Amino acid sequence: MHGWIILDKPLGLGSTQAVSAVKRNLREAGFGKVKVGHGGTLDPLATGVLPIALGEATKLCGRMLDASKTYDFTICFGTETSGLDAEGDVVATSDHRPSLAQVEAALAQFTGPIAQIPPAYSAIKIDGKRAYDLARAGAVVEMKSRAVTVHDLCIQTDATTGALNAVTLTADVSKGTYIRSLARDIAYAVGTVGHVSMLRRTRAGPFSVQSAISLDKLNAFGQGAAQEDIILPIEAGLDDIPALDLSPEQARAVQQGRVLTGIAMEDGLHWARGADLRPIALVENIDGTLKTVRGFNLTP
């Protein structure tokens, strides 16, 4: 059992709970114990794409965490909360409401490489403790600024005149970007405060919401629904990098972790496959030297 289940995570379900639901359905479907991991935490108040890796695909979870992601989100103006989302205590209010033109004009300063301060209610560790645990305990949490990249940022809200109580945007961002912080800072830039009232991840690395399944469909799998309707092959998590076809001799060398030279190919990450087209390893070519990054143990 190796591959991916791409869950369209519903509101209120945590990422750990989602992994538990996958494990339960795998057991109910008769697959026994399967190694399971997720490719990027999604808050309970967020919905959308949550890649869940099975078996050898769990070796790609770290790569999935590093992948860029796309979100739709709504900023509700006039109220800032402690968690910068729909939960938490109100910590600031403002009567000012920006126009759509003002929001649009502000987006340029949040596109490209930017520095942002993560929310106090986040999973970042401070002196070995999660920031959200410290914040919930009443401690003053000082979050350090971090460098992230917003590849694209645009407004979804239809053209309108007058003041906005809320605006919906789409952001394509690098790893480590906090949408709640982005929403807070956009609100500041237009002279008010705000919080995220809706957050939906529509893409995580190579996986989009179009390939995601509902929790109901996952539960149907546990009750006997066809596996091919639920589980994507391991190579689906490698669609954003090129494949490298190896001869039997080269495939054996890569499986043994040996370095290869003299293969005509571009520098960067590739996934290597043998004659049966099964993934053998994630490999990296640097100046004509091919090294194994992660090997896959996939028997025919």
- Per-residue DSSP letter, 35: -
Q: What is the DSSP string of 120-165?
A: SSSS-EETTEEHHHHHHTT----PPPEEEEEEEEEE-SPP--SB-S
Q: Alpha-carbon distance 200 to 210, whole Å?
A: 13
Residue 287 among the catalytic residues? no
Q: Facing residues of 169 across strands?
A: 73, 155
95: amino acid identity, one letter: D
Pairing of strands 79-81, 289-295: unpaired
Q: If you ran DSSP here, which 8-state letter would residue 190 be given?
A: T
Name the nearest CA neighbour of 4 among 46, 85, 67: 67
**140 φ, ψ (degrees, to nearest 5):** -80, 115
Structure-token pair, residue 208: 């989009």
Tell me if 243 sits within 8 A of 285, measured CB to CB: no
Options 8, 43, 72, 185, the catalytic residue: 43
Map residue 106 onto helix, strand or coil: helix
Q: What are phi and psi of 34, to 5 degrees?
A: -130, 135
User: Hey, which residues are catalytic here?
Assistant: 43
